[in-house]
Structure 1
Amino acid sequence: MAQKETASPLQIELARRILERIRDTSVSVGARVSVPELAREFGVSRSPVSAALDILVGKGILEPMPTRGLRVARDVADMDLSSVLPTSPLEELHRRVMRDRALGKLSHEVSEAELIPRYNVPRGVIRKLLMRFAAEGLVQRLPGHGWRFIDTLLDDDAYVESYEFRIAVECAALTSSGYKVDSSAVSGAEARA
């Protein structure tokens, strides 16, 4: 497969998402990469997936198999993705929207119509971003029109409440009948201490 000179924003975004998938699911070196499976997972046709894979071949992340297809060529567990792939416009927009939401510059409920002029991007890009947020569990579509960000830990009270919840749940888990101490992990921790 030959790498194109200029990759489209979709191809760069797909290459990044494929690389994240390989990293996050701990795919081992030598594992085969399936174009049809990736196309189904990301909801796109095979052509942009193949182009995204070409980008990853060009970066040495994937390599052609001796017969046919591609496989993972190197371990990506600790790889800095920004050093491998340029940031796609959608990735940068994702960061901007999340930053604005975290800083309280963006309301809890938004519409595509208000996001288009705010971020100066076409409706299709905003829609793609909101669909990605929905897939990531960050927003929900409202009946009619509009989107609602899920409740997040935006203030000090929310952080305190989340820790109080974790204390209750995690301590209760220690008393459950299914809980067993992994003695090899405990003995390893004692040895390191």
Structure 2
Amino acid sequence: MQRLAVYCGSSMGNDPYFAELANQLGERMAERGIDLVYGGGKLGLMGVIADTVLANGGKVYGVIPEILRNHEVAHPDLTELHIVDGMHERKAKMTELTDAFVAIPGGIGTLDELFEAWTWNALGYHAKPFGLLNINGYWDNLTAFLDNVAGHGFMSEARRQQLLISDNMDDILDQLAAKATGQQGKVTW
């Protein structure tokens, strides 16, 4: 796994640990030689992880829609910043640039991006793995809901198991890397 798309908040949230988590993940990615693909902003957890990867010698690829360029205040110091027309193009470009996806704490944008990556996988547009870094139980309610969806027959158990989940940073990176092997370039539109 050479590049990892990280979905996360454009705000800091109300727990200082969220920023520390983004910082730790950025450090770990740089240590492992994994470049960051993300939404291109410099605010919130997005900015923290981008700054950390850059400060530790990693490469950062941002993708931001023109309309959000000033709203999210596009990060000025990235390896590459791709300006796109809209959110659909943002998600498509991020999918093209990455080998895998992971979500850390964030809001509806984070959920939208994660679920679209999962849906595109289910439809065969790509075969890249995706997961949740579930630190301090942040995603517990979501995973319980997904178990409920599968339990009611609206998702197969195999599909449910595609979402990799761990409360350990090294473990989720290892799981994603293992599943990403051989998946690069398998994006169809």
Question: What TM-score comes out, normalization by structure 1 length?
Answer: 0.23
Query: Where is the strand percentage greater, Structure 1 or Structure 2?
Result: 2
Give the structure with higher Rg (CA). 1
- What is the TM-score with the length of structure 2 in the denominator? 0.23
Instruction: Name which structure has the greater RCO, CA cutoff 8 Å, separation 6+.
Output: 2
